[in-house]
A and B are shown apart, each in its own frame.
Chain A
Amino acid sequence: MTVEIGHFALVLALAVSAVQLVLPWLGARRNDVVLMHLGDRAAGLQFLLVGVSFACLAAAYLGSDFSVRNVYENSHSLMPPIYKFSGVWGNHEGSLLLWALILALSGAAVAAFGQGIPDRLRALTLSVQASVAVAFLLFMLFTSNPFERQFPPPFEGRDLNPLLQDFGLAVHPPLLYVGYVGLSIAFSFAVAALIDGRVDAAWARFARPWILAAWIFLTLGIAMGSYWAYYELGWGGWWFWDPVENASLMPWLAATALLHSVIVMEKRGALKVWTILLAIIAFSLSLLGTFIVRSGVLTSVHSFASDPARGVVILGILCFFIGGSLALFAWRASALQQGGLFAPVSREGALVFNNLFLSVSCLAVLVGTLYPLALEAWDGSKISVGPPFFNLVFIPLTLPLVLAMPFGQQLSWKRGDLAAVSQRLLVAMGIGMVGMVVAFAMRGGVSALAPVGIGIGLFVVAGSISEIVSRAGRGGGGVGVVLRKAFGLPVSAWGAAIAHAGVGVMILGVAATAYEVERIANVRQGEVLSLGTYELVLKDVQRREGPNYRDTVAVFEVRRGGVLEDIAEPAKRIYPARQMPTTEVARITRGFGQIYIALGETGPEGVVPVRAYWKPFVLFIWLGAVLMALGGGLSLLERRMRVGAPVPAKAVRA
């Protein structure tokens, strides 16, 4: 019964979105406040209905109702409840339902927290948002219905893909989707402004918190995905320049550019046309990403449950929204008013520089990702574009960006003084240089690029914080005074400093990968494997039973200088339901570095193939991303305080 309710709620949600698409738009045309306000109600109702639908599917999963085909194909009664729940979105249909849920949530959030936004803009925004919802709900109901029943119901499910039976699945897709789909709000705002024909600094003030929030989740989602791939795939890598990864990196680069250009628009009224275009592009890249991931047109190591036939429908949706919004843009953009003037060397100029390099590097990633498709369509030859290409292209294009970042942060609006800023950054440059020279002297057979990366990373971290230091230290005073002044600075100054420092921290983590130690060996019981300053001793090979799997565990003692430090237990795991093995990596964290041990299949006579790494400072890679998100969060806090407490959410009535 709940399954039918879920299906029915989804159909109702489609009807409500259709209402939300038409009536607020009519209201905005006729200046009818009642009709415009209907959009808020509809958005809340749509969220409620999709929420009910999602809850029904989740109930079917938790109750292992195998009469539902989707549950039968992706679940198993012995799975722990958390994987049963996250299994809801571990498949094509369910992940689309999650997509629709977050889309509806975004609309409802605008309706609930956006009461300060003028009625017309809000009504048009919700109408555009509903158009996306209509497209995706139609797509779901006609091609990807998760509630399809089958008869007779089987006794047992086919199990969830074992690689997905992990905490990562519970966290990564929701975070990433909130980021991806959250960009739909920026898109809807932009299209609404184009329809309305009014784009000004106020628009930027309304749109900015939503862009920032989506960006924070996108950052966390990508970082989480990278960490998950790092420990789940067992290859020791954290970024493969795989099409599916690029699919999430492209919207991130565009959203990062948007995040910065919308500041210029808010503060100085400039870059209006560009910002609107960027908002459209960012969400278009989200849609492109959804298409790439769901259709599997590009061979990826992260392919799950892709379906080319249904993927093509997403391509249709993609073309409609990108084409439609860009046509509207071309038609209306020339009517937009010009913004304020600024000198090339100024905060605005620096942010333009930021946007230029971010969008060009995004374009380069796009070319590299889609080139195999284009070439195959052109002459039928099949190629793959891998890490060498992306490293060669992406690093030079982001290098100027990273180096300019601490300067841009300190330039003043309208007209900046580069010499004065450089002087303030002398200490940071010194730290970077010293770090580079020291690293170069101690490198010992490591690529010369690594010390350069360390120097740049240190400069960026120090340079990002130097704004806080120089602002607080101005006028002297004791440590206490400076500290008090530092904490008295606007939260947004801290936000920018921390987020930018996060970029530096990440660069340090990436540079440190050059120093990692890798050992591949066949190990027997009692044998010692040396790994940098550590020794790994294989003590025992054991079999263990899990709820729905069997483990072959290799027990290693981790020693340093003969002293026992820790026990590592990497395993080879087999899931009988699918007869599918997975590698369970053991990670031992020491400071910011990790010992990483993955097993191969145990051979005859108890020989265990082992791949072991010592990865110094590897955690910096993800810590950097977390700092970026934290910085973004601080900026978000400040906005709320400056605009005034948000209008209490009018109870979203349903």
Chain B
Amino acid sequence: MTRKQRRFTLITAAGIVLALAAGLVLYALRDNVAFFRTPSDVAELKVQPGQRFRLGGLVEGGSVNKGVGERVAFAVTDGKATVKVSYQGILPDLFREGQGVVTEGVMQADGSFRADTVLAKHDETYMPREVADALKKQGLWKEGAPPPKTQ
């Protein structure tokens, strides 16, 4: 095998693997990403039931209902709109009323959101970036200020 042939084989092999990987990545990106939406987005876009996305905002004051069994219900708000959320499992340590939260799950037919993940944050002053941006857009919060009160 000459040097030229060897290089050709190498480049061809690399090209094939790269093409396969690119195809795989594009295919996976089509179905496996979750869009971030605020409660206002949900109301405006009329999100169809069965859609999977991330819902972010503030946990509405007084909305947390630990209920019976392992189900927890609460509401996520951005000041303009509110979405009811249900979640099975143990809430993260820093989950509190009036605090920023990001949940991931599926829209239900009755307009509520069934979350399978509630993202915990590691720092009590930390605000998820998407939530912060969304709240700033609504004029509810400024950089550095404590989280706004909801009710």
Contacts and interface: CB of A to CB of B under 8 A. Distances in A.
Nearest to A521: B70
A326 interface: no
Nearest to A603: B66
A381 B21 contact: no
A251 interface: no
25 contacts: A161-B122, A303-B123, A304-B123, A341-B1, A344-B9, A356-B13, A360-B17, A364-B21, A364-B25, A368-B25, A368-B28, A368-B29, A381-B35, A383-B33, A383-B36, A384-B34, A386-B32, A386-B33, A388-B31, A392-B24, A393-B25, A396-B24, A522-B69, A522-B70, A581-B94
Contacts of A364: 21, 24-25
Interface in B116-145: 119-124, 126, 128-130, 133
Contact of B33 (A389, A521, A609): A389
Contacts of A299: 102, 119, 128-130
A35 interface: no
B126 A303 contact: yes
A389 B34 CA distance: 10
Given A235-B120, A360-B17, A384-B36, 10 more contacts: A299-B102, A299-B128, A303-B121, A341-B3, A344-B9, A357-B17, A384-B104, A386-B32, A580-B124, A582-B93
Contacts of A637: none
A338 interface: yes
B89 to A, nearest CB: 6
Interface of A: 161, 163, 233-235, 296-297, 299, 301-305, 338, 341-344, 352, 356-357, 360-361, 363-364, 367-368, 371-372, 381-386, 388-389, 392-393, 396-397, 520-522, 578-583, 598-601, 603, 609, 611
Q: Report whether over half of chain A's contact residues are helix, strand or loop; otherwise say mixed.
A: mixed
A397 B18 CA distance: 10
B91 interface: yes
Given A382-B130, A389-B33, A161 B89 contact: no
B80 interface: no
Contacts of B21: 360-361, 363-364, 393, 397
A384 B32 contact: no
Q: Which of B27, B54, B70, B129: most chain A Cβ within 10 A?
A: B129
Contacts of B88: 520
Contacts of B25: 364, 367-368, 393
Nearest to B18: A360
Q: Which of B34, B94, B133: most chain A Cβ within 10 A?
A: B34
B46 interface: no
B43 interface: no
Interface in B1-53: 1, 3, 6, 9-10, 13-14, 17-18, 21, 24-25, 27-29, 31-36
Nearest to A382: B36
Contacts of A388: 28, 31-32
Interface bin, chain B: 35 or more
A274 B132 CA distance: 43
A343 B2 CA distance: 10
Nearest to A396: B24
Given A343-B1, A580-B94, A520 B89 contact: yes
A371 B29 contact: yes
B79 to A, nearest CB: 18
A388 B10 CA distance: 31
Contacts of A583: 93
B29 A385 contact: yes
A389 B129 CA distance: 22
B109 interface: no
Interface in B65-100: 66, 69-70, 88-91, 93-94
B28 A581 contact: no
A474 to B, nearest CB: 30
The 3 A-B residue pairs whose C-beta atoms are closest, nearest first, are: A382-B36, A600-B90, A389-B32
A413 to B, nearest CB: 15
Contact of A393 (B9, B24, B33): B24
A609 B93 CA distance: 13
B28 A392 contact: yes
B28 A383 contact: no
Contacts of A392: 24, 27-28, 32
B27 to A, nearest CB: 8
B32 A609 contact: no
Contacts of A233: 120
A578 B123 CA distance: 10
A209 B127 CA distance: 43
B13 A302 contact: no
Given A341-B3, A383-B36, A521-B70, A296 B17 contact: no
A389 B35 contact: no
A343 to B, nearest CB: 6
B28 A393 contact: yes
Contacts of A601: 91
A154 B94 CA distance: 27
A580 B125 CA distance: 11
Contacts of A582: 93
B36 A397 contact: no
Contacts of B91: 600-601
Contacts of A579: 124
A384 B90 contact: no
A581 B90 CA distance: 14
A598 B66 CA distance: 18
Contacts of A161: 122-123
A342 B6 CA distance: 8
A181 to B, nearest CB: 23
Given A356-B17, A521-B70, A598 B90 contact: yes
B124 to A, nearest CB: 5
Contact of B129 (A163, A296, A363): A296
Contacts of A304: 122-123
A302 B121 CA distance: 8
A367 B90 CA distance: 32
Contacts of A357: 17
Nearest to A607: B66
A382 B18 CA distance: 27
A272 to B, nearest CB: 14
A352 B10 contact: yes
B35 A382 contact: yes
A308 to B, nearest CB: 8
